[in-house]
Structure 1
Amino acid sequence: MIGWLFWALFAAAFPACLQATENLITAPTEPLRLAQRDEEPSRVRVPDVRGRNITQAEAVILRAGLSPGRMTPQDSDWADNTVLRQDPAPGQQVQHGTPVGL
């Protein structure tokens, strides 16, 4: 009872506080959402596609969550369209979607 009496006297002395309290009481009941900093993109391991043909290498790269990057043709004794090198190197941890150059 004393609490309500105190609140009535306080509200009479400070009408702005009463208005703020009414706004809180009638505020929407949606859950409070806190702002969060951006999460770090997921990291994936770069697969080894050396020795595969270009089509197979691209499929493996896509399945790993990466993207095929720039292809640089080179002369070699290997069969045509065989991947000789890749960048980034196999086994490295990179961000999801990173291009893999062949």
Structure 2
Amino acid sequence: GVEQVKRVAVIREDECIGCTKCIQACPVDAILGAAKHMHTVIESECTGCDLCVDPCPVDCIDMVTVEPDIRTWTWTPPKSGLIATDRQGASA
């Protein structure tokens, strides 16, 4: 199967004015910050819903693709009932 591409919000913190509009828009509370201070996204909590991007008045939120790595890759176990065989086709 084809793996779904995970996208998360990333705030360019040096451009953030601390308006809290993204915090209010985030349905899963994945953004940390306080009024008039820079905000940041907790990557592991972000669902990639994109709801924080439009409210940002300074357009400092980007949606970026998270490349699968050892932390994000998941393995789908084989279906039960399969019979393992060796190279000659004999049951293991």
TM-score, with length taken from structure 2: 0.25
Of Structure 1 and Structure 2, which has the larger fraction of its residues in helix? 1
- Structure number with bigger Rg: 1
TM-score, with length taken from structure 1: 0.24
